[in-house]
Chains A and B, each alone.
Chain A
Amino acid sequence: MLETIKKIATRLAQPDILFWVLPMMMALIVLGTIAQKSIGLFAAQQEYFGSFFLMLGPIPIPAGLSIMGVFLINLLCKFVMKSEWTWQKSGTIISHFGVLLLVFGGLMTALTSKEGFVMIPQGGSSTIVEDYHARNLAIRSETETLLTIPHEHLENGMTVSDPKIPFTLNVDKYCFNCTITSRPENLQQGWERPGIFMMLNKAPAESQDEKNLTGIEFSITGTHGVDGKYLTFDGFPKPPTLVVNDKPYTITIERARRELPFSIELKEFKRALHPGTDMASAFMSQITINDKEQGVSFPATIEMNEPLRYRGFTLYQSSFDLNGEVPYTILAVVENKGRLFPYIASILIALGLIIHLGLRIANRIKSRTEENAA
């Protein structure tokens, strides 16, 4: 048994695998990069690098995950089976070890990382991290969330009902990316605010995923008095609220949310411009972290290229919004348990290559002097 495993592993350690995997990987990278032009970074990432297979027309070709998988197995077997430590080989082995760690780190990142953003008005504070991509249909009664449905599950004609909700919601129109136009007068029949004046239209998805405006038009039945047609969409400041049996129900499309274990208060957002231009030279958020669990509170400054790491969360200056009355800062929030590996890996890879190069040059000089002596 062990022998068989060893035999298989030795076969899997062969360099011919790498020889075929690398061109595929390169081709995939070229295709995936060009695809970004048309379908956007996020979609290209998902399709080319974040999946196992990809359809190129009718032909399925291996995508990032499967190619990386083969590469990893090949390198792992090589490292385990065929890397006898000798001084001459040490550079190569260390470099390979570095690459292995890099890939494992990437795997760990893929498995553990969570991304999102917090939006805080100057003078305000927040604990809510919103997702960049995942959108939900949520039905709330005041602060209590009764129901959430991920946007992937929404479709035209679907019916939503739940024992906790005293009405039936029928999705008339779902658009992942909507444009909003005003509703012509002859079509206003049966519509309640806000749908009486607005209508949603399906639009092709934006290449930047964050820019997609997801929304639904829906009708409510089973109530006394508030039956009718409504609409709501992502980031709508006044989503429809129905009062049924003296209880308010708010229907929103929102980004999937999670809560931070501490709150972030924005003292001030600053943007420095290159003089005489409207080009920013720096962004800066002066914040205070209030951590009730740990009983600490401290001020911090987050700048471009200078994130704050606290309790496993890393907060980055990502964007801002100066259109409102007060400035808003937008901080990216990332949790990632694999983040140390690139640092270790880069050191190992560079070290290994330097050793290897050094040995190579040393050997060369040695053989030359021998030649000369002969």
Chain B
Amino acid sequence: MPRNILLLIAFIICGFLVTLWIDQSSNPIGLTQITPQPTPEKTTASMQETLPDFQFTTLDGKTHNISDFHGKIVLLNFWATWCPPCVVEFPKLVELSSNHRDVVLIALSNDLSIAPIEKFIARQEPQIQKKIATPSVLIAKDNKGKITADLFQTYRLPETIIIDKNGKMVKKIVGDTDWESKAITSLLGSL
């Protein structure tokens, strides 16, 4: 009988003491990941889809393959002159591509004819026009939406796909965006 009392007291005291001992030690318990998880940078979230090859003809009549731009970062911009946000962000895209050495802007317009595009360019500031004339900016009319709608299923202009040097589509930006923002700069820098 006294044995049972002793047993009970011993267990209770032991249980209590062990708890106290654990509480006093400053080792955290339940740390499943002591090392912080490598949180993948949101901006570099990569999509593994590879860009399919396609052809486009720039306003000056030259035909290019998209694969010709392997090794460059391509901003594939779908736009049209009748789309106000497209028109607003257009100069910024031009600036961006001429400021970054490896960046090429390919702007595919969904206008029905070339005339409004040329008119639009003519209206731009002289320094933008100068930059448009450089090889880092290519402007083309997408014939009957074959690239925009049929291939890329883009229906909400503007949309811009950022393509890395290996031809992987890294990110799609739907609608206009702040092309001077930190996120964009760091994204382009990381590619």
- Kindly provide the distance from the CB of A291 to the nearest chain B CB, expressed in whole angstroms: 7
Residues of B within 8 A of A341 (CB): 15
Contact B23 A104 (CB under 8 A): no
What's the minimum C-beta distance from A259 to chain B, rounded to whole angstroms? 17
Question: Is the beta-carbon distance between A101 and B15 smaller than 8 angstroms?
Answer: yes
Q: Are A310 and B16 in contact (CB under 8 A)?
A: no
Check B28 against A289 for contact (C-beta < 8 Å): yes
For chain A, residues 80 to 128, give those with C-beta under 8 angstroms from any C-beta of chain B: 80-81, 83, 85, 97, 100-101, 104-105, 108
B32 contacts across to A, CB distance below 8 A: 301, 303, 306
Contact residues of B between 36 and 85, Cβ < 8 Å to A: 36-37, 39
Q: Is the CB of B30 within 8 A of A296?
A: no
Please, how many angstroms separate the alpha-carbon atoms of A108 and B11 in the complex?
13
The answer to whether B115 has its CB under 8 Å from any CB of chain A is no
Determine if B5 is an interface residue (Cβ-Cβ < 8 Å).
yes
Name which residue of chain B comes closest to A108, CB basis. Answer: B16
Q: Which of A306, A311, A340 contacts B18 (CB 8 A)?
A: A340
Q: In the complex the two chains form, is B34's CB within 8 Å of A344's CB?
A: no
| Chain A residues near B19 (CB-CB < 8 A) | 337-340
* Residues on the B chain within 8 Å of A83, using CB: 4
> What are the residues of chain A within 8 A of B36 when measuring CB–CB?
267, 286, 299, 301
Q: Does B12 lie at the interface of the complex (its beta carbon under 8 Å from any beta carbon of A)?
A: yes
Verify A81–B1 contact, CB threshold 8 A: yes
A300 to B35, CA, bound (A): 8
User: In the complex the two chains form, what is the Cα distance from A300 to B33 in whole Å?
Assistant: 7
Contact B29 A286 (CB under 8 A): no
User: For residue A276, which residues in chain B have a CB less than 8 angstroms away from its CB?
Assistant: none
Interface residues on B, range: 20 to 34
Bound CA span A97–B30, Å: 29
Identify B33's interface contact among A289, A301, A340, CB under 8 A: A301
* In the bound complex, CA of A34 to CA of B39 (Å): 47
CA gap between A97 and B20 in the complex, in Å: 22
If A97-B8, A101-B15, A337-B16 touch, does A296 touch B29 (CB 8 Å cutoff)? Answer: no
Any chain A CB within 8 A of the CB of B26?
yes
8 Å CB contacts to B: which residues of A191-223? none
List of B residues within 8 angstroms of A79 by Cβ: 4, 8
A19 at the interface (CB under 8 A from B): no
The answer to whether the Cβ of B31 comes within 8 Å of any Cβ in the partner chain is yes
| B133: Cβ under 8 A from any A Cβ | no
Instruction: Report whether B28 and A300 are in contact in the complex, using a CB–CB cutoff of 8 Å.
Output: yes
Quick check: A299 and B26 within 8 Å, CB to CB?
Answer: no
Contact between chains at A97 and B28 (CB < 8 Å): no
* Interchain CA distance A85-B24 in the complex, whole Å: 37
CB distance from A325 to the nearest CB of B (A): 18
Partner of A309 from the list B3, B28, B34 (CB cut-off 8 Å) is B28
Asked if residues B26 and A306 are in contact (CB atoms below 8 Å), the reply is no
Residue among B8, B15, B16, B34 facing the most chain A CB atoms (10 A cut-off) = B15
Q: Which residues of B contact A81 (CB under 8 A)?
A: 1
Residues in A neighbouring B3, C-beta threshold 8 A: 85
Minimum distance in angstroms from A345 CB to a CB of chain B:
9
- CB-CB under 8 A from B11, the residues of chain A are 97, 101, 344
Which residue of chain B has the shortest Cβ distance to A339 in the bound complex?
A: B19
**A298 on the B face (CB < 8 A):** yes
B88 contacts the other chain (CB 8 A): no
User: Do B30 and A306 touch across chains, with their CB atoms under 8 A apart?
Assistant: yes
Closest to A100 in B: B8
Q: Distance in Å from the Cβ of A235 to the closest Cβ of chain B?
A: 30
Contact A307 B8 (CB under 8 A): no
Residues of B within 8 A of A104 (CB): 12
Closest to A84 in B: B1
A350 part of interface (Cβ distance < 8 Å): no
Q: Which residues of A contact B26 (CB under 8 A)?
A: 291, 294, 296, 310-311
**Is A158's beta carbon under 8 Å from chain B?**
no
Determine if A307 and B23 form an interchain contact, defined as CB atoms under 8 angstroms apart: no
- Give the residue name and chain of the B residue nearest to A343 (CB): B15
Which of A97, A308, A312 is B31 in contact with, Cβ under 8 Å?
A308
Q: Chain A nearest CB: distance from B164 CB in Å? A: 26
Query: Which A residues between 337 and 367 are near B, CB-CB below 8 angstroms?
Result: 337-341, 344
B124 → chain A closest CB, angstroms: 38
Give bound CA distance, A76 to B31, whole Å. Answer: 38
Contact A308 B30 (CB under 8 A): yes
* Interface assignment of B114: CB less than 8 Å from any CB of chain A: no
B positions within 8 Å CB-CB of A: 1, 3-5, 7-8, 11-12, 15-16, 18-20, 22-24, 26, 28-37, 39
Across the A-B interface, the 9 shortest Cβ-Cβ residue pairs: A312-B23, A309-B29, A310-B28, A294-B26, A299-B36, A309-B30, A308-B30, A340-B15, A340-B19
**Can you list 28 A-B pairs with a CB-CB distance of less than 8 A?**
A79-B8, A85-B3, A97-B7, A97-B8, A97-B11, A101-B11, A105-B15, A108-B16, A267-B36, A289-B28, A298-B31, A300-B31, A308-B28, A308-B29, A308-B30, A308-B31, A309-B22, A309-B28, A309-B29, A311-B24, A312-B22, A312-B23, A312-B24, A337-B19, A337-B20, A337-B23, A338-B19, A341-B15
